[in-house]
Amino acid sequence: MKEIRTDAGVLRYHEVGDGPPLLLLHGSGPGVTGLRNFRGNLGVFSEFFRCLVLEFPGFGVSDDFGGHPMVTALDAVDRFVDALALETVDIIGNSMGGGVAVNYAIAHPEKVRRLVTIGGIGRNIFSPGPGEGIKLLQEFTENPTRERLIAWLHSMVYDPAVVTEELIEERWTQATDPDTLASARRMYSKAAFAMMLRAMEASDTPPPWAMLHKVTAPTLLAWGRDDRVSPLDMALIPMRTMPNVELHVFPNCGHWVMIEQKEAFESAVLAFLLRKGTD
């Protein structure tokens, strides 16, 4: 693991492979890290790319920058790309990381060559919101218990066999770290969630889903058909409003496409990122 010192704190990241830079941005949730999200995919992607897995502030690996984790995550990407003097990057963003990647691509269209998101963007059209997985995440954040963690983990996947004792243990250890839990509560406690909704309603700024048409980078939306965190109908708005976008739906798959449909996901992403003549 490498690190970059900034005036807000230390950013840590993992680097493997050679070639054009591929930035991998993790999601949120109890015990998450960038390496846990993408460790199974790095062997394949690093054959073609210089893979850079950024650990967002406040999730127990990089320093906590304070503030709302999604805001500090965007700031971290900005600082990270500048610190490494990356002229252009491809980005894979999982869930919250996809939202951060979209915001970065809107703010810096000249920096993002191609973009892959895994669930997590758009808005509910037919399904109630927030989704089941978000509600379970809120319950765990409010009152962390092992049982609530297991319930949330099961909402993330189609196949319950993915939720192993090893996964539960590593997630539990990090999720219950006092500093990491405090950061999570700034984002997912019921009070924080309600405050965010009130702020969005009172703001003159359009909601994130209404800004998706500003993403100019070619984009691949990767979605699990059986996602209980970001249900598939959320993909309809980005699929119709993003100018240069493709949607790939993976069957028998929940929110963690890169884990549950590892080989199919890697194949689809590499075909997209390595394709000639669509930039």
DSSP letter, residue 64:
P
d(CA 25, CA 56): 8
Using DSSP, how many helices (H) and how many strands (E) does the chain show? Answer: 12, 8
What is the enclosing helix (H) or strand (E) of 43? helix 42-45
DSSP letter, residue 15:
E
Q: Which of 14, 26, 248, 255 is catalytic?
A: 255
Residue 196 sits at φ, ψ, to 5 deg, of: -65, -45
Active site residue 255: yes
- Count of beta carbons in the 10 Å neighbourhood of residue 197: 11
Q: Where are the beta strands (DSSP E) in the chain?
A: 2-6, 9-16, 21-25, 50-55, 89-94, 112-118, 219-224, 245-250
**Active-site residue list:** 255
